[in-house]
A and B are shown apart, each in its own frame.
Chain A
């Protein structure tokens, strides 16, 4: 069964550095999402992306964050200047259609540790 893949599985970065988290969504999916999960907390929505533009973003997704689909297969999340509080698990998800009855398929996540 096709799956969403995320790289790297674990990223350690110094505070203030830029980081790019990479995702390869399922190939025929058109809608892409990023979520984060701070250790021990619930999964929180960051941003949704369709047709090469952001559909919705949360208040967490401030100017330090950006997303991009640089080619036909990758979907990236960039954090420009990382802060300690950015330490979390970041999940990418994709769905074939945008209606909620097309389930979002989640990757295994990238654990981001900011030192």
Chain B
């Protein structure tokens, strides 16, 4: 069964500093990979996705993520964090072989941004 691990429960960075949120997956082949952001009391907004091809993908709000097959990772990065980036971040995978494939989410990483 597919699974997702986000090793960092909580990360605090200063505004303007760089950010990297870690995501590791467990799956027999390369799954489809996603990062979502959730502000308090809100829904899930898709930041970016990886299906195939270029392993560095660009998303919205200045985020990017790099797929590394050898490490089974899909880490999210941003060069300069803004206070409005404070939120919960979820990594998710979908099995590409299954029709109507469900999303399997990690536990999430809470990002706090210090002024």
Contacts and interface: CB of A to CB of B under 8 A. Distances in A.
Contact of B100 (A44, A50, A105, A106): A50
Given A42-B90, A103-B49, A48 B100 contact: yes
A99 B96 contact: yes
Nearest to B95: A100
Contact size range, A: 20 to 34
Nearest to B45: A106
Interface string B91-107: 01011101111111111
Interface string A44-84: 11001110000110100000000000000000000000000
Interface string B55-96: 000000000000000000000000000000000001010111
Nearest to A111: B41
A98 B43 contact: no
Q: Is the interface of A mostly helix, strand, loop or mixed?
A: strand
A107 interface: yes
B11 interface: no
B55 to A, nearest CB: 16
Contacts of A100: 31-32, 51, 94-96, 98, 101
Contacts of A103: 34, 46, 49
Chain A CB within 10 Å, residue with most, of B44, B92, B102, B106: B102
Given A33-B102, A100-B94, A107 B31 contact: no
A58 to B, nearest CB: 8
A35 B6 CA distance: 19
Given A42-B90, A108-B43, A31 B100 contact: yes
Interface of A: 31, 33, 35, 41-45, 48-50, 55-56, 58, 91, 93, 98-101, 103-109, 111
8 contacts: A33-B102, A43-B90, A45-B104, A48-B100, A100-B51, A101-B51, A106-B45, A107-B43
